[in-house]
Structure 1
């Protein structure tokens, strides 16, 4: 007993000595700081370095942004079939420039990937994915990867998300493009394997189709990797598990987080965690075993967008968390995960909501949030500094 008391005395003395290592470290308090503004509804950000990034403006241009000097330069040579040529869109029109992504071998080949709404005059628009070389602030050597025809007059739910998996394949999201379920054909668009809409597509980085893509059905488009998806804008790699996660927009509620499965049917419009807009629409019945269930869904409308797995150390309490911004209510969600299972969820910055299209991590582990506004902003989430 005397020995135990002696050990305890030494422990407490060490804790209060000048050179003692603190037992507990203070948890950094996150705050928002505007880094760049005056962006026209920024949709995506891709880092060329810690200081320089490419930002797609949904209603504007593809721009190169200097995060230190707060300058932006428009990238020249964008394809002329961009809807409305300069990306100007009416209220409620989802068209514009979507995701921008850097090739893993960018330092050697200078290639980037871009998704946008392409237009055929007097016919309509659809989602298009291209690759291009970036040289002297211009796009060159533009190559088409996917045109999700048919072109239609519907201006909704293009999708437009992109990610590169650990398999070094390019994954693309295409929305089903409808607003009302009553407009569905007999075989719903997202369930039709001869229609590229409402699907997840998988390509090699050179734009060819991988030989190991799933054989989903007779006559299926060869690039289809998964289907039954209403409108997925965000897709991201979980570096801990090497799995791909994607967000999905529901109608009346029904917003979801999903794990991507090869050949998976995600059920839309026959299965949803929300309600259909068209009350009289009766979708075809699917077998329960044929549907991939979401790993998470909300009981209210969130409109989740470009998600991000945080691997930085600035906020150790957040390391390996999943972040999901939302357009509705300007929400920002953090999910604590056990492998690929959400075990808790919290909504951040309740007193400073911002309609947000993307959250992304820089090469050095900084967190940036893009606000979906005409005076759009790049906001850094950083630790609060002590004020003396």
Structure 2
């Protein structure tokens, strides 16, 4: 693997510049600017306009924030089966509200999609995906897209990622929900096509099942698009190729970037670039299965989350690059990709790490970062001219 040495570095429209050299008008430095704070561990964001956005708080609410007035409003009418996530047991408890995205025709229909940890008293929790209409500051016409049953009492690995592809289909990610591998059934959850967990699912925008979904057999869950997933939280569309990329959490190392392919099996728990938590566990041999290797993996733990392809103009040399935040050590990564090939990798802001859940872009192409903190922030990554 080749890592570029990172910034504090200077972007000179394609080449680095020595600080001792004369400055040019085009030389810029990426800097952070906090534009909103007071969010309770924010997870997802979708912009309604350049100044207004919906934000999900893992340990709080879905809120509408105004970046200009620095105010927020709680969205009313959230489903009542949301887990009791405020004051979660500890930082590793993933229960709460996850992603929120807009329908491609949101301006006309005001439809949004969101995911969260749903509870069933006495039974447990699971990942739930919902479609609703945003009516001013309230939710209306709420319809369930997927309940990833069975429910259980484990507080981890819900997944919850969502994206709408170039094909106008809804792609959603469901984690396998286990913490220890020795708790796997005989056929591991992520390898069982009759189980909704540990999969990436594909739906029509109205919640129906696309006719061209992969065929995993007569007993398979019909919405399954790919399997062998441990815990995917982020999924995004590549602008030039319309390819879907997703992040994957390993256990002890094993964090990955993958390209989504129909019918692919990404191997968990039979294949991993890291190590299993349960040292004594041996995954069963599954005959006739071809596992898809990751496009990229890290040798250390990153815990990659909500990724974003940048298409703005503020940083011309970053055009169409992929940005991946990490929970572990508060890292932020930039990937230069050509087609399906990762050419260069750079870790940003080595001197200013912050545990981060999501990178997002505004309608005008500004780049933002959500920090996973009790006083969660929306941070803008902006270009500072070196001539200043």
Scaled by the length of structure 2, what TM-score is found? 0.92
Paired residues, what number?
365
SS for the counterpart of 2:182 is helix
- Equivalents in 2 of 1:229, 1:70: separation in Å? 38
SS for the counterpart of 1:107 is helix
- Whether the 8 Å contact between 2:110 and 2:134 is mirrored in structure 1 is yes
CA positional deviation for 1:122: 1.6
- Equivalents in 2 of 1:67, 1:189: separation in Å? 42
- Equivalents in 1 of 2:93, 2:259: separation in Å? 28
- Equivalents in 1 of 2:245, 2:116: separation in Å? 21
Partner of 1:359: 359
Partner of 2:31: 31
Asked if residue 166 in structure 1 is aligned to residue 143 in structure 2, the reply is: no
SS for the counterpart of 1:29 is strand
CA positional deviation for 1:320: 1.1
Instruction: State how 1:165-204 maps to structure 2 within 5 Å.
Output: 165-204=165-204
Partner of 2:299: 299
| Structure 1 unpaired stretches of 5+ | 1-23
CA positional deviation for 1:284: 1.5
Partner of 1:12: none
CA positional deviation for 1:257: 0.1
1:50-90 Cα shifts (integer Å, max 9, x gaps): 11100000000000000111111100000000001x64421
- Equivalents in 2 of 1:281, 1:114: separation in Å? 35
Higher relative contact order (CA 8 A, sep 6+): 2
SS for the counterpart of 2:108 is helix
- Whether the 8 Å contact between 1:127 and 1:147 is mirrored in structure 2 is yes
Partner of 2:383: 383
Instruction: State how 1:8-27 maps to structure 2 within 5 Å.
Output: 26-27=26-27
- Equivalents in 1 of 2:25, 2:339: separation in Å? 26
Asked if residue 66 in structure 1 is aligned to residue 66 in structure 2, the reply is: yes
Partner of 2:97: 97
- Equivalents in 1 of 2:167, 2:139: separation in Å? 27
Instruction: State how 1:85-164 maps to structure 2 within 5 Å.
Output: 87-91=86-90, 92-164=92-164
Q: What is the RMSD of the two structures over their aligned residues, measured on CA atoms?
A: 1.4
Structure whose alpha-carbon radius of gyration is higher: 1
Partner of 1:251: 251
- Equivalents in 1 of 2:125, 2:333: separation in Å? 32
1:115-169 Cα shifts (integer Å, max 9, x gaps): 0000011210000000111112000100000000000011100000000000000
- Equivalents in 2 of 1:386, 1:298: separation in Å? 33
Partner of 2:260: 260
- Equivalents in 2 of 1:188, 1:386: separation in Å? 54
Scaled by the length of structure 1, what TM-score is found? 0.92
CA positional deviation for 1:327: 0.1
SS for the counterpart of 1:317 is helix
- Equivalents in 1 of 2:305, 2:122: separation in Å? 30
- Equivalents in 2 of 1:99, 1:374: separation in Å? 18
- Whether the 8 Å contact between 2:94 and 2:158 is mirrored in structure 1 is yes
- Equivalents in 1 of 2:214, 2:86: separation in Å? 35
- Whether the 8 Å contact between 1:63 and 1:73 is mirrored in structure 2 is yes
Partner of 1:344: 344
- Equivalents in 1 of 2:189, 2:218: separation in Å? 16
CA positional deviation for 1:231: 0.3
- Equivalents in 2 of 1:262, 1:386: separation in Å? 46
